[in-house]
Structure 1
Amino acid sequence: MDGGSGLNILYVDTLDVMCIPRSELHSASSPFHGVISGVQAYLLGQINQPIMFGDRANFRSKILTFEVVDTPGSYHTILGQPCYAKFMAFPNYTYLKLKMSGLNVVITVGSTFSHAYTCDREHYELATTVINSFELLWLGELLTLAVPDYNKPTSSTAFHPLKETKAVGIDPTDPTKTVWIGTQVPTK
């Protein structure tokens, strides 16, 4: 359940486990952010799938459109606002419940706090690993581009201390602790 998500998301691993061929996907929109914070997700496509809540005696069934993402995930799918709107469902995050009207009585879907904690922990660890791997690649590229050659002489614009300086003591009890300041520095 993710009431903050404007999409229903299905992970490609889940699609593979369901034995749904990729040829069933139809074209997708542009990439988006938010599956893993700070990482751009690329869509493989969209797929319409029947979703049912409840049991034989009391159920609701609708066709939902899912965005299929090619990123690792600790969940099978994420049901977002489009799902809630279509089923007219009400999530309660405090009690980890999703409620909607059924044929006979209210349908309640829920989870345990320990299961939710385990999923959140797995997602955090996965997200941290993915982000760290992207940052490591980025830093590697950055270092290969910007490694200075310390064997070259410095240019004439390099920092040079001013000749007009004076020593100022910073610790009255220890005269060896001094700072050198410029005497010709403009007031601004």
Structure 2
Amino acid sequence: MGGSSLNIMYAENLHAMGIDRSRIPPSGAPFHGIVLGKQAIPLGKIDLPITFGDPTNYRTETLTFEVVGFHRSYHAILGQPSYMKFMAIHNYTYLKLKMPGPHGVITAGSSFQHVYQCEVESCELASTVIASEEHAAIKDETTEEVPNSNWASGSFEPAEGVKEVLVDPENSADKKVQVDIVLSSK
């Protein structure tokens, strides 16, 4: 049985629901696994009533959510605590969540198109975050050099630590490229 051990709500969704951030008491420890390789520091915790079903057969339970300030394509992530509280069983193959209700089984589901769209948005968002972090890291590692005014436009001069490598050692011994041998590990 997999899944998150936390219920997660995004601050922008609380704002859209009209819930003031002053209602969010601070939370303690950071958690991992939401953004690969990164820790997330929650803004706080909030208890919210969550309802599944329709007017003829529904259940409402109060769930505790960790509130995070970053963006995702989801409204919230329900973890194992919510499944246990609702006594719900999820089936990822059929995109269904089933739980007992006062008048029979309550079924919540989604469409494959909606899930696909959420995944596309999530991947695009993750790519944007990773690209911005890589850009910031590259910017920090590189220094701007003032161009030498003695160089002719379009001319190249080899740097220190250059090694000549044959392009194709079997067919052409005269075609070579120069490769920097002092590259950073990145």
Q: Normalising by structure 1, report the TM-score.
A: 0.74
Displacement of 1:36 in angstroms is 2.4
Greater Rg by CA:
1
Tell me which residue corresponds to 1:60.
59
- 3-state SS of paired residue (2:136): helix
Percent of paired sites with the same residue? 51
Tell me which residue corresponds to 1:120.
119
Displacement of 1:57 in angstroms is 1.7
Distance in 2, matches of 1:78 and 1:95, equals 18
List 4+ stretches of structure 1 deviating above 6 A. Answer: 173-177
**Within-5 A mapping of 1:1-188:** 3-144=2-143, 171=170
Q: Which amino acid aligns with 1:101?
A: P
User: Unmatched 5+ residue regions in structure 2?
Assistant: 149-159, 162-168, 176-186
Displacement of 1:175 in angstroms is 7.3
Distance in 2, matches of 1:41 and 1:74, equals 16
Distance in 2, matches of 1:138 and 1:121, equals 26
> After superposition, what is the alpha-carbon deviation per residue over 1:97-126, rounded to whole angstroms, capped at 9, x for unaligned?
000000011000000001100011101101
RMSD: 2.7
Q: Which amino acid aligns with 2:31?
A: F
Displacement of 1:174 in angstroms is 6.9
Q: Normalising by structure 2, report the TM-score.
A: 0.75
Q: Which amino acid aligns with 1:65?
A: T
- 3-state SS of paired residue (1:83): helix
* 1:37 and 1:127 in contact (8 A); partners too: no
Distance in 2, matches of 1:74 and 1:175, equals 54
> How many residues in Structure 1 have an aligned counterpart in Structure 2?
159
User: Unmatched 5+ residue regions in structure 1?
Assistant: 152-157, 160-169, 178-188
Q: Which amino acid aligns with 2:34?
A: V
